[in-house]
Amino acid sequence: MADAKKPRAPFAPWDRRELPGLFSVEESARRVGAYKWCELKLFEALGGWIATVPELDVKMRLGAHCYKHAWHAELWHKRLPELREMNPDRLSVAPNEDMVSFIAALTEPEAPELTIEKLVGVYRVFIPHFISAYTFHLNNTSDITDAPTMRSLRFILQDEFEDWRDGEMLIQSLIETPAEVDRAAAHQARLEKILLAAGGITGSGTIGFNTLKHEGALA
């Protein structure tokens, strides 16, 4: 017979999370603010390209995807007051200047003939980094102390995976020559280097590596 007085872990034996999760309230709020900022920037980028992209199938996909990112930003906006304070806009900022530079480089290809570069930036760089950041957050927080954030993460990750697949299929349908392979690879490498300098979409430590001790973050 089990001893009812014997201390037990808060989660099932196969779940190794700690009860409070990895993040303090301050760190969760900082991350969520960065998520909101990044999602809004992606919404703006996709929405701005809809009018100029000549390929009809690409135009239709961008239109469908951009409003998902607007909704993601709205979810994070609503989450911020619950995490920190009644002023979400104070936390809805870029994590650092390198991330601002990344957005500038992402949106730089404007000419109609640069559809490959547009899609590579979003679907081979930005969205995979969203998936990494969101998955890390989901796997390192607690459904006891942070259940609303986890629920938003699961909804948003479903969208990100679906859009990643759609975007990659569009890219593959557009790349028809070795020169276009080189274009795609060169643009991807350029953007990845900027994001490396940024440390990911929430700054250094986005997925737990090279973590800086942000004010209020757990050691």
DSSP codes of every residue in 62-110: HHHHHHHHHHHHHHHHHHHHHHT-S-HHHH-S-SSHHHHHHHHHHT---
The radius of gyration of the chain's CA atoms, rounded to the nearest angstrom, is 19
Quick check: 1 pLDDT over 50?
Answer: yes
pTM: predicted TM-score of the whole model, two decimal places: 0.85
Whether the CB-CB separation of 53 and 122 falls below 8 Å is answered with no
Residue-wise pLDDT for 72-97, tens only, equals 999 999 888 776 665 677 889 999 99
pLDDT tens string 124-181:
999 999 999 999 999 888 877 788 999 999 999 999 999 999 999 999 999 999 999 9
- The angle, 0 to 180 degrees and rounded to 10, between the axes of the packed helices 127-139 and 147-174 is 150
Beta strands in the chain, from DSSP E residues, in sequence order: none
**Which listed CATH number (1.20.1260.10, 3.30.565.10, 3.30.70.20, 3.90.550.10) goes with 25-198?**
1.20.1260.10
> Between 211 and 50, where is the model more confident?
50
The domain locations on the chain are: 25-198
| CB neighbourhood size of 100 (10 A) | 16
How far from the centroid of its chain's Cα atoms is residue 126's Cα? 7
Asked if 100 contacts 123 with a C-beta cutoff of 8 angstroms, the reply is no
- Residue 35 near residue 126, CB atoms below 8 Å: no
